Structure 1
Amino acid sequence: MNRPVSIVLIVGLAVAVAGCQRLGLGGSSSSPLPATPTPPVDSQPLTPLDGVQTSDGTIEQQPLDAVDGAGEQVAAAPFEPPAEAKEIGRSDLLGGWTMQSVADRCQLFMTLTTWSGGYRANTRGCGSPDLQGISAWDLTGKQVVLKNDAGATVANLYSAGGTQFSGQTSTGQPITVFR
């Protein structure tokens, strides 16, 4: 046999045997570590956040204070454009955006496909029915208007600089759209 071939075979055999030893196939192996005992969990009744617990176990709630004008419906105040609102073009709005509202964070997609009320828009992952219903957008000066299928305004936005738009929904909730 050729000397280089012999060396390669010997090295290969040594590596194979070393691999068997590494995997624990060599016969002697250490035993696994014993499990660590965990202490038992204590259970105690929780005290209520609001109200006072009486001796019989019931909870007495504190009455709510009366509010002036209770029962009156209040319309959302119109959202005034910020003084620092920047000029924007339609192409600045195209593509995917993250939309953040009070308790909702989802995706907004805007295209230049002509749609009722402006251009095509859609959302994904929104929990709010209002935000789920966004189907169109339009640009009026510095204002971006998001609309539903009926053409009603869902939100008004203004550029907050760079790739962020801030405003409010038609119900008066703050909303931000950003990349």
Structure 2
Amino acid sequence: MRITHVGFILAIAFAVTSCGRTDYAANEASQPAGPSSIAAAPVGGVQQSQLPPPSGDNGMDNASTAMPGDETGPSSDDTGDQTQMASLPTGTGAPSISREALLGRWTTSTGSSTCDLFLSLTKWTGGYRAASRNCAGIAEDISAWDVKNNTVVLSDSTGNRLATLTKAGDKSYTGTTQTGQSINLSR
């Protein structure tokens, strides 16, 4: 009787496994062998020609599109729209300050302390992200910066103004902190 039960169980197991294989083989045969072939789209010839010179219709001055190193850049006697733009008044009459010119590492001096200040264009509370390294005192608290009314504004992590600076030279800014202490940025 035991052999009958073992034989019966083996017969059922064989039947179940063979059905699975038969079913698998049937499904495999009904599937497409691969992606169907698609005819390539016809491609026309490629044409090459020179672009026409820029016209003044779009409001851009040809001299303003000159690349560095071009010998056809603006001449010293050019009196186009650039002169009018240069005569526009700035916030405080000081040299114009751009955010892009301030990006990167600056040496910061406050009193007798000197450290590094890094300015980026990542949005932050109080303007844009600033990070100090090896700073002490008020310079240690600087975590944001912005340019407002042609002055550089340095702020803490809550947006409180810590110092304001104006352009003192090509690569230097000078100003005072909210406590009246002098502060300088230089490269």
Q: What TM-score does the superposition give when structure 2 sets the normalisation length?
A: 0.50
Which residue does 2:39 correspond to in 1? none
Structure 1 residue ranges without an equivalent (≥5): 1-82
Letter in 2 for 1:178: S
- Residue by residue over 1:55-107, the C-alpha shift from the partner in whole angstroms, topping out at 9 and shown as x without a partner, is xxxxxxxxxxxxxxxxxxxxxxxxxxxx7621011101000000011121000
Give secondary structure in 2 for the equivalent of 1:91.
helix
| Counterpart position of 1:89 | 98
State the one-letter code of the partner of 2:130: A
State, as a whole percentage, how many aligned pairs show the same letter: 43
Q: 5+ residue gaps in structure 2?
A: 1-91
Letter of the 2:95 partner, please give it. K
**Deviations, residues 34-58 of structure 1 (Å, cap 9, x unaligned):** xxxxxxxxxxxxxxxxxxxxxxxxx
Q: Report the residue type matching 2:147 in the other structure.
A: L
Query: Does the 8 Å CA contact 1:109/1:123 hold for their aligned counterparts?
Result: yes
Aligned length: 97
RMSD of aligned residue pairs (Cα, Å): 1.6
Q: Secondary structure of 1:105's match?
A: strand
Deviation per residue, 1:1-54 (Å, 9 max, x gap): xxxxxxxxxxxxxxxxxxxxxxxxxxxxxxxxxxxxxxxxxxxxxxxxxxxxxx
TM-score, normalising length from structure 1? 0.52
Q: Secondary structure at the match of 2:101?
A: helix
Q: Distance in 2 between matches of 1:84 and 1:165?
A: 15
Determine the structure 2 residue equivalent to 1:164.
172
Higher helix residue share: 2
1:159 and 1:136 map into 2 onto residues whose CA distance is 18
Matched, 1:148 2:156: yes
Larger radius of gyration: 2
Runs of 4 or more, structure 1, over 3 Å off, are: none
